[in-house]
Structure 1
């Protein structure tokens, strides 16, 4: 493995794009996605929309649960094989974009005739694809995580503050995807990570 300075970045700026579940990366590749881009893609490849301003205090967070290792023995070898428990993954987003379109998305709500957004506290999933982009403002290198299939639901009511912007939180359960290739063990995958070079070389 080459030792390079490239690929070491700060998540100084970022954006999250959303599309229908299992939406592919549009023709033209990931280089079309940037922090200030409003929409990417059209037609049969799907339309990706920037969800707007996210919190600079509470960045997108990925979390894994499970995956505990168990070492299994044979009579002649006490450390013959290691197996791992099932792993589940989530991503949590904190928006500061308090407009009705964002609120209706995060809370799976209905925009009422008076402009308010009404929603039930009984959660129901929204199947969406997410493209989570971050950018180092010193090098302008971009990186991203592509989640083609997530189940979104709100995670809390608005978090109020008089020091920072009000935050609205949504959480996505990361699901396996038919849009991604299987791994070398034949297992379905659900996450794709793009390095800085992908944003240069994608066609």
Structure 2
């Protein structure tokens, strides 16, 4: 493995694209995901929609809960076999766009009488595909994370900050048959794209 200074990425800018669960990547490749791209069509009436402005104070985050490895002994041998439980991987973020279309998409709400968006007390689980685009605007490098299937739920509203009002969300990453299987038939949950993937897909 070579040492590459060109692979040092600072996620100074970024955005999130959402599409119906199991939506594939654009035919032009991941290079089609640009910060200011609005909607990227991938078929009849199907597109990746840019979620727009998200919080710079609370950037898109990733957490992993569980996934512990346990070992079992035999009478003959200690630690004869190990097993690892499946973890829960969660993507968190906050939109700072308070327009009606964005609020409906994030909350899973619906039009109210006299305007507004009705939001249920019990979170609506929406089935989305996600593409998280991180961009290093100093070195013009892109990095991406593709999640074909995620359970997306609205979290809360924060009006207390000195910056913008925030509308936070959580997305639990699911295993997906949409991704290429591993050499032993393993099922993946997400796919990472390094800067060279963006260069290759755009032909630069």
Deviation at 1:162, TM superposition (A): 5.0
Deviation at 1:29, TM superposition (A): 0.2
CA distance in 2, matches of 1:27, 1:176: 23
User: Structure 1: 5+ residue runs without aligned partners?
Assistant: none
Contact 1:100 1:111 in 2 (8 A): no
- Report the counterpart of residue 25 of structure 2 in structure 1: 25
Q: Note if 1:60 corresponds to 2:67.
A: no
More strand as a share of residues: 2
- Report the counterpart of residue 85 of structure 1 in structure 2: 85
The structure-2 alpha-carbon separation of the partners of 1:42 and 1:189, relative to structure 1 and needing over 3 Å to count, comes to closer
Contact 1:27 1:41 in 2 (8 A): no
- Report the counterpart of residue 163 of structure 1 in structure 2: 162
Q: How many residues align?
A: 202
SS at match of 2:130: strand
Deviation at 1:90, TM superposition (A): 1.0
Deviation at 1:189, TM superposition (A): 1.3
Deviation at 1:119, TM superposition (A): 1.6
- Report the counterpart of residue 189 of structure 1 in structure 2: 188
Contact 2:127 2:152 in 1 (8 A): yes
Deviation at 1:46, TM superposition (A): 3.1
CA distance in 2, matches of 1:48, 1:76: 56
CA distance in 1, matches of 2:45, 2:186: 25
Within-5 A mapping of 1:172-183:
172-183=171-182
The structure-2 alpha-carbon separation of the partners of 1:140 and 1:100, relative to structure 1 and needing over 3 Å to count, comes to same
SS at match of 2:105: helix
Q: Note if 1:200 corresponds to 2:199.
A: yes
- Report the counterpart of residue 38 of structure 2 in structure 1: 38
TM-score (norm 2): 0.93
CA distance in 2, matches of 1:149, 1:47: 15
SS at match of 1:6: helix
